[in-house]
Structure 1
Amino acid sequence: MSQDRNEFFVIRIPDTGSLLDAVRIIAASGLTITRCHFNRSLDPVTAFFSVSGDEWACTRGAQALLDDGYLQTTVTYPKSVQFTVIVPEIPGTLHRILTILDTYNAEISSLSFDNRGKYPDALHIMLRVLNPDKTEELIRTIEAEYPVKIEGYDCGDSCDDGSLFYVRYAARVSEILDGVENPHILELLHQFSHVAQQLTEYGKEYQDVLEQILLNGKRLKETTGDGFYADVQKIALADTLTLYCFQLPGGGSIFVIDAPDERIMIDTGYGIYHEDVLRMFAAYGLGGKDDFTRIILTHGDTDHCGAAGFFNAPVYTHEGTWDIIKTNNRAWGATTQDLVLEQVYTVMINLFARMTPPEEVTLLPGPGVVKRGEFPVLSTFNAGGYNFEILEGHGGHQHGLIYILCKEAGVLFTSDTILNLKHLSPERSAYNNFAVYLVTTVNVDPDLVKSERKALAKLALELDQELQESGKRLLYCCGHGPVSVMENGELTPVTEPATYRH
């Protein structure tokens, strides 16, 4: 017996009765409906269903829905046609015409006839035919029995009955993604609809959620090329060690540790910014995709790891991060890993941001007996004669998250556990709010992240106090925001960032 699987159907609902009929077909196929969404006021002909069942039932159900004209395999709706039929005063004429329309699976948008009106023999019809190639054949079939006058084809907004919502939405998604083909666009519509449906339970409006998803992708696309910019800090840690922090328009920062013997990138930013980042690196004398000795990924969110596959350098990361990348689920390994919001958000942002992971990575070893505060030391590496430690986080923000510490040079890379949100630009703050809106919290374990942040802040404070005895300060290299020092309990940029533009 084959194992049950989950499947989805996007179903065309031309009339109220067809909703019942579609559900009957699904049930008769031996499938269990796990989710449905239909809103006639939004789009009166599109319904979404998730089902579960064995492979044979899924195949049988899909074919049955297709045979009866319900299953949508494309988001391109047929063109509208508006025409008038001159009908004789013979009983059964309307029934005969409707029978012809039903034979061709026509979706009637409007129908008007009044034998006591100004045109008593005129039946006005506007419709769509599910198979556009059959439109002319339908007209010829009616013309064989009754006179027909065509008013127009594809009459646009002037005769739109509101059933193009998802078609237009799909077109906007496709534009952001530079074209996406069926059936992938249908899968995206289904997933976006699902997350929007889930967020209504948090008091958010269905259509507003769908709009926020589009704005997220649009913002990323608009900040590439001529729209790209970055805030840059260049900090001399020692004679042999220079730190660069590049705050991109959206998402997390890229850090580069430049030393005579090593050029290390910590996090890569979004894949969509890759070409712009290479131009920026060249402007700062940091070479190109072949000029890094290693890349370290702090965690699996695409704004921190999404361009790693573009570089010809060994990539080091935690096993949990690699699992998140492979499963396309940012909540993998956490108690929330099965929640729809996290799963759909990962799919969405990875597409919009052109997630390009490496083909393979070097996994960091497991924790040993050595710790820094509450955090196990997983591995060490050397750059410019300085020793760097890689620490394992607790998994509050995301499973597999790591920190990087060089006590001698006074730098701590805090990833997304400690952030300098106060000194983000308004544009970056607004962009970050997309993620919060769409998943309600960016931390996969909100309770755990509080204790983890407290433990990391305690470690950082102790290191800072120790460094101050020798006239140094600890630099907080946050996943978002400028490189900072702690002053009176607040993170303050250690230097004023310079703005880079092409």
Structure 2
Amino acid sequence: MRTPISVSDRYSFIARVPDEPGALHRVAELLGAYAVNINRIQYDHRIDRHTVFFEVTGPADGYARVLAELEALGYLQTRLPMLRLLTLYVWLPHRPGGLFGFLQEVTDAGANIVAIDFDDHGIHPERVELTLNLSESTAIEALLDRLKARYRLEVVEYDPTTRRLDDTIYYVRLAEQIRELIGDADDRFLLCLLQDINHVVQELQHRGRDPAKTFETCLAAGRRLRETQGDGFFADIQRIQVSEQVRLWCFQLPAGGNTYLLDAGDDLVVVDTGFGSYHDECVRMFQAVGITDLSRLSLVVVSHADADHSGGAGLYDAPSLMHPATAEIGRDLSRAYGSRAEESILEAVYTTLINLFSQYTPASRVHTFSTEPRGERHGFAVIDRLRVGDLSFEVLEGHGGHMHGQCYLFDPEHGLLFPADALINFESLSSERRSYASIAVYLVTSVNVDSERANAERDALLELVAETDERLAASGRRCLVAGGHGAVSVLAEGRLVACGEVAPFRPAR
């Protein structure tokens, strides 16, 4: 009787096979010979003609032997080649064998031909245009030295980014683009990430969606984050006196969620941090508007675990306060944690990529809200309370519509609600911010892990705002809605409308 294979004996590897009949068969033969079973395999010649992804189960010694034999065959991908494109004009002798001698030099240098263009009746009958793909910069120098000794040539373009390569090496090119965005990353890390990305490719294809478009959109988000740091940073700022002692600052960052400051004089509290990649710019912005003493900062409140709300918590010299589930998601690194989509590889990889691009730095000093209900407010459990100056917030526990563990802060006396991403004035978002916000829907089915619950939460919060407006009407005040994105707003005829002046900010040059 066959012994069952335990879950702990599950492995993954990436094979890089030659584009020839029987190559994949040789890999399958090895797996069978060492009692290693295939749990997942994905290969698509249209995307990448050499790369095959495997997830397998089997005995540890059998798996080790498979890897050893694949490596001996040259089929095991353990590193990512640093691909570089070189485009040349070469003047070759127009006679039989002229091209052969040149190509022999190219082959000896270990270069692959990406494109070749020659027509003796064309515009330039005297020359050949050739694009080569080489893995090492030293190989390029050696090849050029050898070619210059025999041929007249002109270097047209040297492209170390591989952007002009076609999709037959899709995964290698994608890894290079990710490396370009996140900085130094070793090959082992990127190969593990590619394994997960390939799983997403497979799932997207099963859903009839285009993986290339999905990941290009995700890369565009990473580029957007990089472009809007430093001199490219900008924000929109609101300053509102919400009580006798507390001034509310709202900072709409270039991409992702807002960050808020509650300034109570001797005390300063951050509510949500924005992406970690904006932290230095935020500190300089605070100083520019007169908040120069961050030693007053006593607390960072995190509404939920998305990177654009929690990703800079670990960069502040203050403890962070959050729901226990938010702390757990920070360790689990999947925004679908605790939801019906918890096992979705789409959610997990989306979280990983955005965290990488945004320099996600979770809180290191974590305090958590109590989760014991102390009351109820419009269908939400009141699980804790928080004082900032003369403000007294109820901590309302969300129902997990947008994300498990999302919480809201509500001060009924002063009429101030922080509804995180459950209630947003989308009309107040600039076109750039609205465009960036659309990234999530390309990789996951919805920005909410449970859309039905999210809609119900939004309706309940709107009712809470309307009821608060009625109660405060006699004093001439309105309930302020400080949403996770967009301007601080009030409710007018069922719509959220920006409250007060929204001032643009650009860093001093």
TM-score interval w.r.t. the shorter chain? 0.7 to 0.9
Offset of 1:69 from its aligned partner?
1.5
What corresponds to 2:8 in structure 1?
4
Matched AA of 2:406: L
Q: Contact between 1:413 and 1:476, CA under 8 Å: does it hold in 2?
A: yes
Deviates more, 1:223-232 or 1:361-370: 361-370
The superposition leaves residues 256-310 of structure 1 with CA deviations (integer Å, 9 ceiling, x where unpaired) of 1110242111100100111111101111222365431111100010100000001
Matched AA of 1:256: L
What corresponds to 1:488 in structure 2?
493
Q: Contact between 2:260 and 2:270, CA under 8 Å: does it hold in 1?
A: yes
In the alignment, is residue 19 of structure 1 matched against residue 18 of structure 2?
no
Distance 1:404 1:273 in 2: 24
What corresponds to 1:116 in structure 2?
none
What corresponds to 1:294 in structure 2?
299
Offset of 1:174 from its aligned partner?
0.9
What corresponds to 2:43 in structure 1?
38
Offset of 1:11 from its aligned partner?
1.2
Matched AA of 1:347: T
- The verdict on how the C-alpha distance between 1:324 and 1:69 changes in structure 2, with shifts beyond 3 A counting, is same
- The verdict on how the C-alpha distance between 1:260 and 1:216 changes in structure 2, with shifts beyond 3 A counting, is same
Q: Contact between 1:296 and 1:317, CA under 8 Å: does it hold in 2?
A: yes
Alignment counterpart, residue 353 of structure 2, candidates 338, 342, 348: 348
- The verdict on how the C-alpha distance between 1:130 and 1:65 changes in structure 2, with shifts beyond 3 A counting, is farther
Distance 2:135 2:234 in 1: 47
Alignment counterpart, residue 68 of structure 1, candidates 69, 73, 79: 73
Alignment counterpart, residue 252 of structure 2, candidates 247, 255, 267: 247
Distance 1:375 1:186 in 2: 44
In the alignment, is residue 305 of structure 1 matched against residue 305 of structure 2?
no
What corresponds to 1:473 in structure 2?
478
Distance 1:212 1:307 in 2: 23
- The verdict on how the C-alpha distance between 1:470 and 1:132 changes in structure 2, with shifts beyond 3 A counting, is closer
Distance 2:294 2:68 in 1: 48
Distance 1:209 1:227 in 2: 25
What corresponds to 1:49 in structure 2?
54
Offset of 1:68 from its aligned partner?
2.3
- The verdict on how the C-alpha distance between 1:365 and 1:44 changes in structure 2, with shifts beyond 3 A counting, is same
Offset of 1:7 from its aligned partner?
3.0
Deviates more, 1:182-191 or 1:305-314: 182-191
Deviates more, 1:492-501 or 1:205-214: 205-214
- The verdict on how the C-alpha distance between 1:451 and 1:72 changes in structure 2, with shifts beyond 3 A counting, is same
Secondary structure of the corresponding residue to residue 238 of structure 1: coil
What corresponds to 1:217 in structure 2?
222
The superposition leaves residues 57-101 of structure 1 with CA deviations (integer Å, 9 ceiling, x where unpaired) of 5434333322322110111068999xxxxxxxxxxxxxxxxxxx9
Alignment counterpart, residue 186 of structure 1, candidates 183, 187, 191: 191
The superposition leaves residues 18-72 of structure 1 with CA deviations (integer Å, 9 ceiling, x where unpaired) of 1121223234343333332222233222222233445445434333322322110
- The verdict on how the C-alpha distance between 1:2 and 1:457 changes in structure 2, with shifts beyond 3 A counting, is same
Matched AA of 1:7: Y
Offset of 1:372 from its aligned partner?
1.3
Percentage of matched positions with identical amino acids: 36
Q: Contact between 1:4 and 1:53, CA under 8 Å: does it hold in 2?
A: no
Q: Contact between 1:289 and 1:310, CA under 8 Å: does it hold in 2?
A: no
What corresponds to 1:98 in structure 2?
none
Q: How does 1:165-204 map to 2 (within 5 A)?
A: 165-204=170-209
- The verdict on how the C-alpha distance between 1:46 and 1:109 changes in structure 2, with shifts beyond 3 A counting, is farther
Q: Contact between 2:78 and 2:188, CA under 8 Å: does it hold in 1?
A: yes
What corresponds to 1:392 in structure 2?
397
Matched AA of 2:504: T
- The verdict on how the C-alpha distance between 1:380 and 1:16 changes in structure 2, with shifts beyond 3 A counting, is same
- The verdict on how the C-alpha distance between 1:501 and 1:79 changes in structure 2, with shifts beyond 3 A counting, is closer
- The verdict on how the C-alpha distance between 1:213 and 1:32 changes in structure 2, with shifts beyond 3 A counting, is farther
Secondary structure of the corresponding residue to residue 174 of structure 1: helix
In the alignment, structure 1 segments of 5+ residues that lack a partner are: 82-100, 111-125, 135-148
Alignment counterpart, residue 383 of structure 1, candidates 382, 388, 400: 388
- The verdict on how the C-alpha distance between 1:349 and 1:56 changes in structure 2, with shifts beyond 3 A counting, is farther
Give the TM-score of the pair, scaled to structure 2: 0.81
Q: How does 1:402-481 map to 2 (within 5 A)?
A: 402-481=407-486
- The verdict on how the C-alpha distance between 1:57 and 1:489 changes in structure 2, with shifts beyond 3 A counting, is farther
Deviates more, 1:186-195 or 1:463-472: 186-195
Offset of 1:9 from its aligned partner?
1.6
Q: Contact between 2:266 and 2:296, CA under 8 Å: does it hold in 1?
A: no
In the alignment, structure 2 segments of 5+ residues that lack a partner are: 87-106, 115-130, 140-149
Offset of 1:422 from its aligned partner?
1.6
Offset of 1:391 from its aligned partner?
1.1
What corresponds to 2:213 in structure 1?
208
Q: Contact between 1:2 and 1:54, CA under 8 Å: does it hold in 2?
A: no
RMSD: 3.4
Distance 2:137 2:31 in 1: 26
Matched AA of 1:371: E
Secondary structure of the corresponding residue to residue 473 of structure 1: coil
Offset of 1:129 from its aligned partner?
11
